[in-house]
């Protein structure tokens, strides 16, 4: 399963040969890095393409970013969802940040290895970032009541995409309580990932969107 990109090809049939080559090399790259630095759980690495790559690409099913967009991946970990999305959208600019230096080191190695000209990775916390972005992405970073105050100050008021700027994230499980906690101030829209992908892994996994 590690080197099997058939699921990606199934859901994204219009990928270029360059994109396919990069996605095909993601598995071996992360397997090798994971043996040196544990950026993905050991039991998860064999399911990389479904649990991490395809899961990240559910955002690409939710929205096609406009070329020239500025995207922040907050708490990127080993580079998810930022690296797969940067391969998917080569004309979109990505900044990937994480508070753990070892993980950002792996992300920078990925940027170099895959020659991703549209990505930068920095060892920073969100409050240290001084730029504004069209969207802030967050994959299982923290609860919504903590995440929203971290992200909203980093969202630009200049809208160039099909939906207004805001926060786009990935979460699993029952989000009812989290959404209720913030509903007085923010509307949280959720889309089941299994609307896009049929694999059982995506049951009870959601793309969420919060307009800034």
Domains of the chain by start residue, with CATH: 6-211 (3.40.50.150)
With a cut of 80, say whether residue 1 has pLDDT above it.
Answer: no
Residue 2, both tokens: 């590690």
pLDDT given at position 141 = 86
Q: Structure pTM? A: 0.96
pLDDT tens by residue, 74-117:
999 999 999 999 999 999 999 999 999 999 999 999 999 999 99
Choice among 34-38, 39-43, 192-196, 197-201 with the minimum mean pLDDT: 39-43
**93-98 vs 135-139, strand pairing mode:** unpaired
pLDDT given at position 50 = 95
């Amino acid at each position: 399963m590690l080197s099997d990109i058939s699921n990606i090809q199934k859901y994204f049939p219009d990928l270029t040969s360059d994109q396919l080559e990069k996605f095909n090399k993601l598995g071996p790259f992360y397997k090798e890095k994971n043996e040196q630095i544990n950026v993905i759980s050991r039991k998860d690495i064999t399911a990389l393409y479904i649990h991490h790559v395809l899961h990240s690409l559910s955002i690409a099913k939710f929205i096609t970013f406009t070329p020239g967009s500025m995207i922040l991946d907050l708490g990127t970990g080993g580079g998810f969802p930022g690296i797969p999305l940067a391969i998917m959208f080569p004309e979109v600019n990505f900044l990937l940040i994480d508070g753990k230096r070892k993980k950002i080191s792996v992300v920078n190695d990925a940027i170099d290895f895959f020659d991703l000209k549209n990505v930068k990775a920095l060892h920073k916390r969100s409050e240290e970032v001084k730029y504004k972005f069209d969207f802030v992405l967050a994959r299982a970073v923290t609860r919504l009541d903590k995440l929203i105050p971290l992200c909203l100050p980093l969202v630009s008021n200049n809208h160039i995409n099909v939906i207004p700027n805001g926060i786009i994230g990935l979460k699993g499980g029952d989000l009812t309580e989290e959404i209720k906690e913030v509903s007085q101030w923010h509307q949280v829209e959720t889309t089941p990932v299994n609307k896009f992908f049929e694999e059982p892994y995506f049951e009870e996994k959601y793309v969420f969107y919060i307009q800034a």
